[in-house]
Amino acid sequence: QQQVKQSPQSLIVQKGGISIINCAYENTAFDYFPWYQQFPGKGPALLIAIRPDVSEKKEGRFTISFNKSAKQFSLHIMDSQPGDSATYFCAATQETSGSRLTFGEGTQLTVNP
Amino acid sequence: ETGVTQSPTHLIKTRGQQVTLRCSSQSGHNTVSWYQQALGQGPQFIFQYYREEENGRGNFPPRFSGLQFPNYSSELNVNALELDDSALYLCASRVGAGPGYTFGSGTRLTVV
């Protein structure tokens, strides 16, 4: 049962452009929404995370937008760089249930020079 | 470096065999989780251990089992390997109950 749906599956952006990745969730008990970045041959690394009591969180070039009523959240990468080329996963968890992570299917981002 | 070390990095096994994958977490990380990541997919939760006891399990059969040791290391054991078990197996650890996991680089298991 896929509880977190992610789109698009792949994304190609020019250097300096904005990359946008979207996720939707079903379980309203989720209370923590992290984004992970994964390079080939490596494990996922936490990029940025948000809780449902805020609508936006920004860290450097990375911003999460969160819409609780629509059960959707998105990652925006401003001024995308070739070094941002990686696979990005959204995830969701419910801290009271042990914080197991439910991941989306992933988005392979390519930033062309 | 993440501070979570997994071994081996790659492994090839034959269908029906058994395999043990190992993870060494950072000191103080008393919660460890294991995930299976099939090619082109997001990681899927297998199970979680807290202070050496299993405290959560995903939709995986009993032939997937684990152990956590007092020295912050852990194991994932898979019996009666099937072709579909071919995947990247990720170990993730954290301190206490917070959601801030640190992932290892994984073990790539190929079942032939």
The one-digit pLDDT tens for each residue of chain B (112 residues) are 458 999 999 999 999 999 999 999 988 888 999 999 999 999 999 999 988 999 899 999 999 999 999 988 999 999 999 999 999 999 999 876 666 789 999 999 999 9
Chain A contacts in chain B segment 35-54 (CB below 8 A): 35, 40-45, 48, 50
CA distances from A61 to A41, A45, A52, A107 (A): 24, 16, 21, 18
- What are the residues whose beta carbons fall under 8 Å from the beta carbon of A1, sequence distance 6 or more? none
CB spacing of B42 vs A99 below 8 angstroms: no
Order across the sheet with A62-67: list the strands.
Answer: A4-7, A19-25, A72-77, A62-67, A56-59
Q: Write the pLDDT tens digit of every residue in A93-110.
A: 987 777 789 999 999 999
Measured between CA atoms, the residue of chain B closest to residue A5 is B42
**Pick among B101, B102, B108 to test the A interface (most A CBs inside 10 A):** B101
CB spacing of B41 vs A93 below 8 angstroms: no
CB spacing of B105 vs A104 below 8 angstroms: no
CB spacing of A100 vs B100 below 8 angstroms: no
CB spacing of A101 vs B35 below 8 angstroms: yes
Measured between CA atoms, the residue of chain B closest to residue A100 is B45
Chain A partners within 8 Å of B43 (Cβ): 44, 89, 101, 103
Tell me which residue in A36, A91, A100 faces B33 most closely, judged by beta carbons.
A100
Nearest-angstrom CA–CA distance, B102 and A44 = 8
Q: Write the pLDDT tens digit of every residue in A33-75.
A: 999 999 998 999 999 999 999 999 999 999 999 999 999 999 9
CA distances from A97 to A41, A100, A101, B57 (A): 30, 7, 10, 11
CB spacing of A97 vs B56 below 8 angstroms: yes
Q: In this model, does residue A111 exceed pLDDT 60? A: yes
pLDDT, average across residues A13-29: 96
CB spacing of A105 vs B99 below 8 angstroms: no
Nearest-angstrom CA–CA distance, A29 and A32 = 9
What residues pair up with A112 in beta bridges, in sequence order?
A14
Measured between CA atoms, the residue of chain A closest to residue B57 is A100
The whole-angstrom distance between B42's CA and the closest CA on chain A is 5
